[in-house]
Amino acid sequence: MTARRNPIRTALTLAAVVMIGLVLPAAAGDVPDQLPDPDGKAPDTTKPVKVYILAGQSNMVGMGEVSGGKSRYTGIYLSADPDAPKGPIGIAGSLYRIDAHGFYLSAAPDAGRGVTVSVYKGTYDPGANYDKLKPEKTETVALGVVQGFLPAIPGPHTHVARGYVEVPHSGNYTLSPGYGDSACNVMELDGQEVYRRNVGEQAVRQKVDLAGGKRYPIKITYFKGGSTAFWMNRLELGVSGTLDIVTKKDKKFPHLVDDKGGWTVRKDVYYYEARLTFKGGPLTVPPLPGNRTIGPELQFGHIMGHYHDEQVLVIKTAQGNRALGFDFRPPSSGREDPDSKWEGLEYRLMVEGVRKTLDNIENIVPGYKGQGYEIAGFAWWQGHKDGGAQELIAEYESNLVNLIKDVRAEFKVPKLPVVVATVGFSGKQMSGKYLQILEAQMAVGDPAKHPEFAGNVFSVDTRDFWRSVDESPADQGYHYNRNAETYMLVGDALGRGMVKLLGKENHK
């Protein structure tokens, strides 16, 4: 397919979407790490519509916030003192957060911690060029330690600290070097004065924009000696992790944003919700008018739209609070409660929703010209509800195997490509019941354990896509803290996994 590129933003990169551990075949070269903008061209309607079914529970429904919210913190402060408490701290009924930042001797990746402090004879002289004067003493100091002290020599003297500072997160900051007497100083960051407190006067601070992970040269000239204290105040307390912030501030997923700052639209991908709203539209943000959230369908649809020349139809059928072992229980797993109308109901509704959509495809997909359709793939993201009962955990792997086989039989596609996204709650800190479910989900994609699925089922470990509550719009772990980046990354991984299964020989 002809690459779709916007020259204004092709230079922007998106390292976050490079999937760890996924080695793609040659065909995946057609899907670059950073997707280009949709080009607005009409799809090829001489070939059957490529249909993808997405199913699961509430996270497949989609809980990634597009916009809104506010910070849960009254203030965010950064300290380089290893003894300073880190994380949320409640003070007088308000919640604050203390993060760690670092001082380094140079910008080199292997630079040691701390700064160099040179001590010069005589009281501070504003006309002196201390960079050209010879110091009486120079030491490496752990700047930021409240209980530490600047080195001293007998008689009046002046201290100059030189080094580099690095913050973990991008944002707008003010800096406060020193405490007590040592708070009387002038500080430069990257050659610009950002703090000054003359003796007997109030401190004057300048706001500075700092990029997370970047080291900036600093120089602090102290008018008086004393404590090595240093702290920073992050001024922007807006919510993190909404799609607005992730795309328009953090500059990730630039293919979602057009040159005017609006959301791009994929005319070659049509999204239809076949379980709850029975509505659809061209793929954009939000996926359906009136929605406040996104799910993995957004990036999945962009991946598949870029990969195919044909019209793509993404059908999603998902409902919250549903277990694979009960609500989605596939026919091949048998009945545990034959008298229950609820057991297996979600599976039946999934099939019904897909069939009704396809039976009415000429009225659903704009510009449909009777070219027919091909069910090209199935994506599954679920697992939370099954963690509530040990028997559901124990049979999760067998139920997932049966689900794949039954979906293939239902739609008469024996080797239908299937991608499975694991649970990812708490990221690499996951343990207990959800780790057991993750292992079952990964096992289904392991050809050594299920050779019948070799080359046609792929499992994606989503733990790397977990974002903490401090990086997210909400404290809601079972919905991945409603972090839009997580939902985008899961969709990206599912899409690239599907491309892996389709293979070069299937790419027209």
Task: Give the amino acid at 299.
Answer: Q
- Strands (E) in 57-134, as ranges, are 64-65, 75-79, 87-91, 94-100, 102-104, 115-121
Q: Matching CATH topology for 15-68+240-506 and 75-234?
A: no
- d(CA 279, CA 275) in angstroms, rounded, equals 9
pLDDT tens, position by position, for the chain (508 residues)? Answer: 333 333 323 222 222 222 223 333 333 347 999 999 998 889 999 999 999 999 999 999 999 999 987 788 889 999 999 999 988 999 888 999 999 999 999 999 999 999 999 999 999 999 999 999 999 999 999 999 989 999 999 999 999 999 999 999 888 999 999 999 999 999 999 999 999 999 999 999 999 999 999 999 999 999 999 999 999 999 878 788 999 999 998 899 999 999 999 999 999 999 999 999 999 999 999 988 889 999 999 999 999 999 999 999 999 999 999 999 999 999 999 999 999 999 999 999 999 999 999 999 999 999 999 999 999 999 999 999 999 999 999 999 999 999 999 999 999 999 999 999 999 999 999 999 999 999 999 999 999 999 999 999 999 999 999 999 888 999 899 999 999 999 999 999 999 999 999 984 333 3
Pick the CATH number of 75-234 from 2.60.120, 2.40.160, 3.30.379, 1.10.260: 2.60.120
Helical segments of 136-251, H only: 243-244
Beta bridge partners of 249: none
Q: Cα Rg for the chain, rounded, in angstroms? A: 28
Chain Cα centroid distance, residue 196: 38
Report cis status (omega within 30 of 0) of the bond before 286. yes
Residues 6+ apart with CB under 8 A from 199: 184, 223, 224
Q: Six-digit token pair at 101?
A: 């930042």
Q: What whole-number distance in Å separates Cα of residue 101 and Cα of residue 165?
A: 8
Q: Which two tokens stand for residue 61?
A: 């429904």
The torsion region of residue 312 among left (phi > 0), alpha (psi -120 to 50) and beta comes to beta
> Which architecture, in CATH terms, is 15-68+240-506?
3-Layer(aba) Sandwich (3.40)
